[in-house]
């Protein structure tokens, strides 16, 4: 007797054997082809519609952005914004009348530039003329840069450097700055 078993028919061999393909009819093939074609066409349409919808959404977003940027801001009934400056603590007063020794009749007709030129050419009333030219630039012509130039020249020509109630905000600021420079110059030296 032999110890080697003899292989017999195995149950799995039947399942693993290749089976011939089923015989399909021509009608079944046409039905399958029609269904597959419809599914593929439907998928292609949905893909195109999704692409068109994405383009339309991008266009609408861009148009909405432009519309929102062009739309004027709503006007609210709010109190006006008041900006407080340190110079506001000094009340502005009407410019003081010129001294009696300066010509008054010509003063009303002179422009700020003409007053500035008189100050340049004058020897004895230079500081007062520069100050009046600065006042005229600031109040009448709304030109703070020229007023600043005239006020600096007035202070350099010997005008009073102490802040007085008659000074406007710009002249008071310049005087305050000069006093601080003087104090810091004394402390550093």
HEC readout, 92-120:
CCCCCCCCCCCCCCCCCCCCHHHHHHHHH
In this prediction the pTM is 0.43
Give the integer Cα–Cα distance in Å for 120 and 130: 8
Q: What pLDDT, on the 0 to 100 scale, is given for residue 89?
A: 42
Give the integer Cα–Cα distance in Å for 140 and 145: 13
Give the integer Cα–Cα distance in Å for 11 and 86: 105
Q: What pLDDT, on the 0 to 100 scale, is given for residue 166?
A: 86
Q: What pLDDT, on the 0 to 100 scale, is given for residue 108?
A: 61
Q: Can you list the residues of the chain whose pLDDT is less than 70?
A: 1-2, 6, 74-109, 187-189
């Amino acid at each position: 007797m032999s110890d080697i078993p003899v292989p017999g028919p195995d149950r799995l061999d039947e399942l693993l054997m290749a089976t011939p393909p089923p015989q399909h009819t021509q009608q079944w093939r046409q039905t399958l082809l029609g269904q597959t074609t419809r599914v593929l066409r439907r998928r292609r349409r949905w893909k195109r519609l999704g692409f068109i919808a994405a383009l339309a959404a991008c266009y609408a977003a861009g148009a909405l952005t432009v519309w929102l940027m062009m739309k004027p801001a709503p006007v609210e009934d709010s109190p006006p914004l008041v900006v407080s400056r340190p110079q506001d603590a000094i009340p502005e007063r009407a410019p003081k009348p010129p001294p009696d020794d300066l010509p008054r009749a010509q003063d009303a007709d002179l422009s700020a530039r003409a007053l500035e030129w008189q100050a340049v050419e004058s020897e004895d009333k230079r500081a007062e003329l520069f100050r009046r030219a600065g006042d005229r630039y600031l109040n009448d012509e709304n030109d703070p840069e020229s007023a600043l130039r005239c006020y600096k020249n007035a202070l350099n020509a010997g005008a009073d450097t102490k802040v007085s109630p008659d000074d406007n905000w710009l002249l008071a600021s310049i005087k305050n700055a000069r006093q601080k420079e003087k104090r810091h110059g004394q402390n550093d030296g």
